[in-house]
Structure 1
Amino acid sequence: MQLLDLTLPDPEMNLALDESLLVAAEEGAGGEVLRFWEQPAYAVVVGSGGSVVIDVNLSACAAAGVPVLRRASGGGTVLLGPGCLCFSLVLSYDHAPGLNEIPASNRYILARVLSALKPVATASVEGTSDLAVSGVKFSGNAQQRKRKFFLHHGTLLCGFDLALVAKYLNAPERQPDYRRDRPHGDFITNLPARPEEVKQLLINEWRPEGDYAPVPLARAHALVADKYSRAEWNRRR
């Protein structure tokens, strides 16, 4: 596994780079990687099957110039921006037993993330793939899968402006049972740690060896042109 600590200027490219890392591994042009990125400006990102109309306050986003995009993995709708650390793992199914099954792979990865975060939080897995402290969420996770490799990416709130979530996101179409219809402000929290500290904790857990290269930027640009910049993808539901 190699390390890639790289945030690109716009959210379309950041989403496209995650998918490009997966495709590169699948095609033999890359391998396992741990990536960190932190979107410099706010952006709403809907899961592959999510509803823009239901989950997103489109008028508020339009008024503030907040883009609304769709990723290729599943999961719920999120607001990205400063203080929301994104981590991405591209893993081979041979990395550990059971990774070919989504529930088992979630358990494996999230157990390791929880172990890494022990110095700053006593947390647990809630719902399908959330991480929470005392039932209050600080991390959501999702996956995209190919034949030999899969992408697992997640968010970790570390100093995020939580009030903005209720401004730009509606109550979600689907909610985990543990949410119990709580509004956004009562449901999410920040880790008591800085993003750089959390990065180091995850690096200590996953132990990447060396920096990832070459970065598949040309592939990412192509994915932006073909998918992530197109309304028929981002607003398809």
Structure 2
Amino acid sequence: MQLHHHTAATPELNLALDESLLLGDDSDHLRFWEPGHPFVVLGRSSSYDDEVAVETCGELRVPILRRVSGGATIVTGPGCLMYAVVLDLRERPALMDLTAAHRYVLGKMVEAIKPLEPTATIAGTSDLAFTSQDALRKFSGNSVRRVRGRLLYHGTLLYNFDLPLISRLLQTAPRQPEYRTSRDHDAFVANLEATRAQLIEAIAAAWRATPSDIAPSIHKRADELVAEKYAHSRWNTHGKL
């Protein structure tokens, strides 16, 4: 597996790079990146009007973008480490089943994080959480996209994030996992007590990933995806081109 530490210049290009790795070569990839400024990311089918505090985002000049994978709307920014795992399913046909894919990837993530947070566990369909004051607190939300025998599994890892920003930029989630028990954002999410470097080292070791540069062809395709999709308000607002 190839390991990439690469944060692109813009939010649009960061989202496009994850998709380009999915559409690219036959290699397995693990990418880490972290935005320098906050932005909102809708899931592929998420509702712009129902899930985002659009007026507040406009006032704070927070970009609202849409990713190619499913799942709920998230806020990212400094203190939120983003990761992406890309796998060739021809080598792992069992992961064509999405439930199996969730359990496989999140199982690896829990294995990596447990030495840093012993109560780390899979929660709901595709979250990671830890126990705090007898309640599960979410620190990672994840989503998946499958294309032509390849799997993109990517998500968030909160470790030093401005948590109150989430409730300012998002509305109440329309779809909530049972373990959330109707808690608001502030009572539901939490930062891991770990550093960025600790998380990267632990996760890279769990995946046995080795440092590598992203191929020029992947960068080129990412630039094309920005021009074709991620820079367009129609995609970001409605999920259509």
Q: Structure 2 length as normaliser, TM-score?
A: 0.94
Residue segments in structure 1 that go unaligned for 5+ positions in a row: none
Q: Distance in 2 between matches of 1:212 and 1:93?
A: 22
- Say whether residues 1:34 and 2:30 are aligned partners: yes
Equivalent residues, number: 233
Deviation at 1:96, TM superposition (A): 3.7
Runs of 4+ deviating beyond 2 Å: 94-97
Once the two structures are superposed, what CA deviation does each residue of 1:17-51 show, in whole Å capped at 9, x if it has no partner? Answer: 000011003xx5xx111000001110000000000
* C-alpha displacement of 1:176: 1.0
Is the Cα–Cα contact under 8 Å of residues 82 and 160 in structure 1 kept in the other structure?
yes
Question: What corresponds to 1:222 in structure 2?
Answer: 224
Q: Which moved more, 1:206-215 or 1:110-119?
A: 206-215
Which of residues 86, 96, 103 is equivalent to 2:99? 103
Q: Closer, same or farther in 2 for the Cα pair 1:208/1:68, shift >3 Å?
A: same
* Aligned counterparts, 1:40-51, within 5 A: 40-51=36-47
Identity of aligned residues (%): 42
1:33 and 1:212 in contact (8 A); partners too: no
Instruction: State the TM-score, normalized to the length of structure 1.
Output: 0.95
1:165 deviation in Å?
0.5
Equivalent position amino acid for 1:16 in 2 = A
Range 74-83 or range 92-101, more displaced:
92-101
SS of alignment partner, residue 140 of structure 1 = strand
1:21 aligned to 2:21? yes
1:233 matched residue in structure 2: 235
The alpha carbon displacement at 1:161 in A equals: 0.7
- Deviation, structure 1 residue 94: 3.6
CA deviation string 1:43-75 (max 9, x = no partner): 000000000101100011000100000000000
The answer for unaligned runs of 5 or more in structure 2 is none
Question: Per-residue displacement from partner, 1:79-99 (whole Å, max 9, x unpaired)?
Answer: 010000011011011444521
Q: How far 1:223 sits from its partner (Å)?
A: 0.6
The equivalent of 1:196 in structure 2 is 197
TM-align CA RMSD: 1.2
Counterparts of 2:84 and 2:91, CA distance in 1:
15
Does the CA contact (< 8 Å) of 1:51 and 1:173 recur in 2?
no
